[in-house]
Amino acid sequence: MTKPLTKDDYRPGDVTVHRDPVRLTRVVRALRAAGRNIALVPTMGALHEGHRKLIREAHVMQNTVVVVSIFVNPAQFGPNEDFTTYPRTLESDVDVCREERVGLVFAPAAEDVYLPGATATVHPGPLGDELEGASRPGHFAGVLTVVAKLFNIVQPTYAVFGEKDYQQLTLIHRMARDLNFPLDVVGVPTVREHDGLALSSRNRNLSEDERQTATALSAALVAGAHVSGLGAETVLRTARDTLAAVPGVDLDYLELRAPDLGPAPENGDARLLVAARVGATRLIDNVAVLLGAGDE
């Protein structure tokens, strides 16, 4: 029999922070038994307006309690990446969650998520070795493993992710389908600054000059999408020329793919994706493109 919730477990109208996965699972099970849906917003913290948008979209789901996870996942960082310097701002993140009427925050320690001796991981399949995966070996195995763990711990009805990490979203959709997770994965369009730069926790690592340089990524995507009626080659050439005109952008990849990240079609819906370093900061972005929609 499910034990009744106490104010230490869940306070309607205020945010409750949980660190223990077992206790959180007990809370969400009790909420679901009481007829509530659970909407999970997985994050690594350093919450910004993009995360607020995800939380607000989660609130749109009917009869939901919103759970935000805040966990800097060590398994998705490579040996030369920014795990140790990734921003950790739990106190202010909880304040954001309170302002956005989040019900539960899950902020575990690494040893609570990855038990001693644990070796099982989720393999992302061939797509995990392409695009971001080619530059960051093992990254998506780390992402999918922690997301699968969150799905099992939080047991959400809905899980909400941003489209800025489009390959990640695509792989999570596939994992949820292939492994029969009983939930809906919801994608939310990218939130941008007034100058087009996609919101990211890593933007705070940019200097003022680098911040200006970084707008070249979104400018290139917009330029490519603007000529989509002239075909894939023109889209890629236009985007690449836009990037090349801005010193300080170290391009990793610029690719045009189908919406499921297979080969791009000759006509129809596609996705234009970019990754580049500006200074020491690696940034990614993407936009939807409609190929063959007519001459520009």
pLDDT tens, position by position, 131-185: 999 999 999 999 999 999 999 999 999 999 999 999 999 999 999 999 999 999 9
CA nearest 40: which of 171, 174, 172, 140?
172
Q: Are 254 and 243 in contact (CB under 8 A)?
A: yes
Separation between Cα atoms, residue 9 and residue 174, nearest integer Å: 33
Query: To the nearest 10°, the Cα dihedral for 250, 130, 236, 170?
Result: -110
Strands 249-257 and 268-278 come out as antiparallel
Residue 240 tokens, joined: 């690449």
Instruction: Report the pLDDT value the prediction gives residue 81, as an integer from 0 to 100.
Output: 87
Strand partners, 161: 187
Is the separation of the CB atoms in 100 and 92 below 8 Å? no
Amino acid 4: pLDDT: 77
Q: Select the CATH number that applies to the domain covering 201-291 from these four: 3.30.1300.10, 3.20.20.140, 3.90.550.10, 3.40.50.280.
A: 3.30.1300.10
Q: What is the set of active-site residues?
A: 51
Token pair 């009481």 is found at: 34
Q: Do domains 16-188 and 201-291 have the same CATH topology?
A: no
Please compute the mean of the pLDDT values over residues 92-105 and round it to a whole number. 98
Please give the pLDDT value at position 296.
43
Identity of the amino acid at 138: G
| Residue ranges covered by each domain of the chain | 16-188, 201-291
Q: How many CB atoms lie within 10 A of CB 296?
A: 10
* Residues facing residue 184 across a β-bridge: 158
pLDDT in tens, 51-67: 999 999 999 999 999 99
Q: Decide if pLDDT at 3 tops 80.
A: no
What is the dotted CATH code of the domain comprising 16-188? 3.40.50.620
Q: How many CB atoms lie within 10 A of CB 288?
A: 15
Q: Tens digit of pLDDT for each residue in 219-274?
A: 999 999 999 999 999 999 999 999 999 999 999 999 999 999 999 999 999 999 99
118-123: list long-range contacts, CB under 8 Å, 24+ apart. 120/145, 121/75, 121/145, 122/148, 122/175, 122/179
Question: Alpha carbon 70 to chain centroid distance?
Answer: 12
Quote the pLDDT of residue 271. Answer: 98
Q: Give me the pLDDT at residue 294, please.
A: 58
Please say whether the beta carbons of 270 and 258 come within 8 A.
Answer: yes
Q: What is the mean pLDDT of the chain?
A: 95
